[in-house]
Amino acid sequence: MTAMRLEQAQALLGFVRGAGQEHILRYWEKLPENSRQQLLHQIAAVDFALLARLHHDYILRKNLPALTSLEPAEMITLAQQQAHPEEVRSMKARGEQELRAGKVAALLVAGGQATRLGFEKPKGAYPIGPVSQKTLFQLHAEKLRALARRYQTRIPWYIMTSDTNAGETRDFFEKNNLFGYSSQDLCFFEQEMIPALDENGKLILDAPDHIFTNPNGHGGTLTALEKSGALADMRRRGIEEIFYFQVDNVLLNMCDPLFLGYHVAAQAEMSAKVCAKRDPYEKVGVIGKVFDARTGKAGRLQVIEYSDMSAADKEARLPDGTLKYNAGSIAIHLFKVSFIEREVAGGTKLPWHVAHKQIPYLDANGQLVQPDKPNGYKFETFVFDALSDAERVVLLEVDRRFDFSPIKNAAGEDSPETALRDLNEFYARWLEQAGITIPRDAAGKVKVRCEISPLFALDAEELAPKVTPALRVQNDFYLEP
Ligand code: UTP
């Protein structure tokens, strides 16, 4: 942190007062110089005009986009894929071509705070290998290394962190020898933080020299890619497509060539994988076509959050009995580099989302208070909102058993317990496809823990010739090179 010059510091303090936020200088006189500098640097990063607009639009006027009309989105369904195996083969080959040509980068967003899981380290450090106990970061790294080996290419890996976990994440990678990834192909970058506001639109101090801020949402990825130079780095390397994924999906089909193939063949600017909802009330956003209040254009794609959908829409069914709005958004995307360049030109175009939350604050006595009910507003942008700005979009339906099982909660659905169950079942099925008997109980549940390192086999086809059906699986079972 470089010390700020006196005139610059005074100008900033004047700005704070002008913005009606002088309460954040409450402890100024008592602060030692290094704390003053810390606060000044934080203040310098605050976009006061943006916060004033957010307060006005989202808190006072509750300016939420109105869904005037909703229609199901067109997607490449699983049934269509099953009916056209030739097309599927050629799309996969098309995607493989992109990988082989070195045009694909992987982008992991890991700047979130994992509040629901309640894990004290970065979420990627969560141990999840059914037998190996390998972490999420290692699992992703091994998939990427195996893919690069298979297609004889390099897959640069960009990892977004935030101020809440950047240092810890880098340290974790360093301690683990970058999980075997080449340092030349690994690039960490940070998203921005944004201050929260209290009920009156005021900044919140959570220490005498610190304003409470939160990561600006996974939508912050797009501007952070640009500001950090990562986007320019991709250009230099000849990257054209970016495979976007979240840290907590244990079944992630990394850089899925089939998805890539459909995306590239359609010249899509942004694409999304979707999967059928478990039931009408599964708390997942759904991709649909809506009247876009921002652009005034009808028929743009958008993720409709679970809480914004009426019960009637949630329950609506097609004549064949499937849910009418069934394109569950699972946060796996492809972006063209050129699309992101356009999307971030002149600042983010993404709309803000506001959440009423419990935010720690200093009380009148300077004591830190953890409130037991919401006392302020956090702001975030969401990456899927870029769908409505893309000219061409592919929505590819996938079977969640092979693509999606996230760790969100400490217990219940989408927790470590369900992720382990799904991962175990996923590997057991590969072994069974190779003719190996896996012990199951009367309910069909796999009785042992099994795991296959991505570096041993990336899929069932690669596994089959490497094992013999005579293999006996009776105890915990781990295949690694
Ligand atoms: P979630 O919305 O599930 O958030 O993020 P989370 O941080 O993992 O968990 P909660 O909501 O605090 O319990 C989905 C993905 O987006 C990333 C997360 O790291 C995760 O990979 N993310 C989220 C960011 O990178 N930045 C953000 O500001 C928010």
Distance 129 CA to ligand 1 centre (A): 21
CB 215 near ligand 1, within 6 Å: yes
Distances (CA, A) of 459 to 180, 416, 444, 464: 20, 22, 22, 9
Distance 157 CA to ligand 1 centre (A): 18
Kindly give the number of the ligand 1 atom that is closest to the alpha carbon of 108.
Answer: 21
CB 122 near ligand 1, within 6 Å: no
Beta carbons of 252 and 403 less than 8 angstroms apart: yes
CB 248 near ligand 1, within 6 Å: yes
- pLDDT score for 396: 98
- pLDDT score for 60: 84
Q: Choose the residue to mutate in 119, 165, 247, 333 for probing ligand 1, maximizing ligand atoms within 8 Å of C-beta.
A: 247
* CA nearest neighbour of 154 among 162, 163, 145, 141: 145
Q: pLDDT by residue for the chain (481 residues), tens digit each?
A: 777 878 888 888 888 999 999 999 999 999 999 999 999 999 999 999 999 999 998 888 765 555 567 899 999 999 999 999 999 999 999 999 999 999 999 999 999 999 999 999 999 999 999 999 999 999 999 999 999 999 999 999 999 999 999 999 999 999 999 999 999 999 999 999 999 999 999 999 999 999 999 999 999 999 999 999 999 999 999 999 999 999 999 999 999 999 999 999 999 999 999 999 999 999 999 999 987 566 666 678 999 988 888 899 999 999 999 999 999 999 999 999 999 999 999 888 899 999 999 999 999 899 999 999 999 999 999 999 999 999 999 999 999 999 999 999 999 999 999 999 999 999 999 999 999 999 999 999 999 999 999 999 999 999 999 999 999 888 899 999 9
Round to whole Å and give the CA distance between 101 and 126: 33
Distances (CA, A) of 105 to 156, 244, 254: 5, 9, 11
- Full-prediction pTM beyond 0.85? yes
Residue with tokens 């970061």: 137
319-354 exposure pattern, b = at least 16 Cβ within 10 A, e = fewer = eeeebbbbbbbbbbbbbbbebbbebbeeebbbbbbb
The strand pairing partners of 286, in sequence order, are 304, 328
CB 194 near ligand 1, within 6 Å: no
* CA nearest neighbour of 191 among 209, 213, 171: 213
Round to whole Å and give the CA distance between 201 and 56: 9
- pLDDT score for 59: 84
The strand pairing partners of 222, in sequence order, are none
- pLDDT score for 6: 80
CB 124 near ligand 1, within 6 Å: no
Task: Domains for the chain: give ranges and CATH numbers.
Answer: 1-45 (no CATH), 63-414 (3.90.550.10), 417-481 (no CATH)
Going by alpha carbons, the residue nearest to atom 18 of ligand 1 is 112
Question: Letter for the amino acid at 126?
Answer: Y
CB 246 near ligand 1, within 6 Å: yes
CA 216 to chain CA centroid, nearest Å: 12
CB 160 near ligand 1, within 6 Å: yes
Task: Report the 10 Å Cβ neighbour count for 283.
Answer: 12
CB 116 near ligand 1, within 6 Å: yes
Copy the structure tokens of residue 78.
């699983």
Kindly give the number of the ligand 1 atom that is closest to the alpha carbon of 161.
Answer: 25
Ramachandran quadrant class, 323 (left: phi over 0; alpha: psi -120 to 50; beta: rest)? beta
Task: Report the 10 Å Cβ neighbour count for 50.
Answer: 14
Copy the structure tokens of residue 153.
């290419």
